[in-house]
Amino acid sequence: MTPSRKEQDNILRWDGKKTGHYEVYYMKWNDFASRTAYWIRYTMTSPAPQVGAPYCELWGTFFDASEPGKNFALKNRFPIEKLSWDKDKFGIRIAGAELAMNACHGKIADEAKGNSLEWEVSFDSPDKTFYHLTPQRMYKGDFPKTKALAPHHDARFTGKVIANGREIKFSNARGQQTHLWGVKHAHRWAWGHCNTFKEDDEAVWEGLDGQIKLGPIKSSHLKLFYLKYKGKSHYFNVFPKWFTNKSNWELAHWTFDARDKEIRMVGEISARYEDFVAVTYMDPDGDPLWCNNTELADIKISVYDSAGVKLGDLTSAMGCASEYVDRKTYPEVPVKI
Which class is 186-337 in CATH? mainly beta
pLDDT score recorded for residue 140: 87
pLDDT score recorded for residue 158: 98
Phi-psi bin for 95: left (phi > 0), alpha (psi -120 to 50), beta? left
Q: Using CA atoms, how far apart are residues 29 and 321, in angstroms rounded to an integer?
A: 9
Q: For the chain, which residues score pLDDT lower than 50?
A: none
pLDDT score recorded for residue 312: 97
Q: Using CA atoms, how far apart are residues 269 and 292, in angstroms rounded to an integer?
A: 14
Domain map of the chain by residue range? Answer: 1-183, 186-337
pTM assigned to the model = 0.96
Task: Please name which of 286, 315, 289, 318 lies closest in space to residue 302, comparing C-alpha atoms.
Answer: 315
Q: Identify the sign of the CA torsion 41, 88, 140, 193.
A: negative
Q: What 3-state class would DSSP assign to 274?
A: helix
157: which strand partners?
123, 173
Sorted by sequence, the CB contacts under 8 Å of residue 147 that are 6+ apart come out as 133, 138, 139, 180, 181, 182
150, 27 Cβ separation under 8 angstroms? no
Integer angstrom CA distances of residue 303 from 40, 45, 193, 264 = 32, 41, 17, 6
Task: Please name which of 235, 292, 302, 220 lies closest in space to residue 268, comparing C-alpha atoms.
Answer: 302
Secondary structure (DSSP) of 180-237 = EEESS--SEEEEEEE---SS-TT-EEEEEEEE-EETTEEPPPEEEEEEEETTEEEEE-
pLDDT score recorded for residue 138: 85
pLDDT tens string 175-194: 999 999 999 999 999 999 99
pLDDT score recorded for residue 134: 85
pLDDT score recorded for residue 135: 80
145, 184 Cβ separation under 8 angstroms? yes
Domain 1-183 maps to which CATH number in 2.60.40, 1.10.730, 3.30.530, 2.40.370? 2.40.370
How does strand 55-64 pair with strand 36-46?
A: antiparallel
Same-fold call for 1-183 versus 186-337:
yes
321: which strand partners?
193
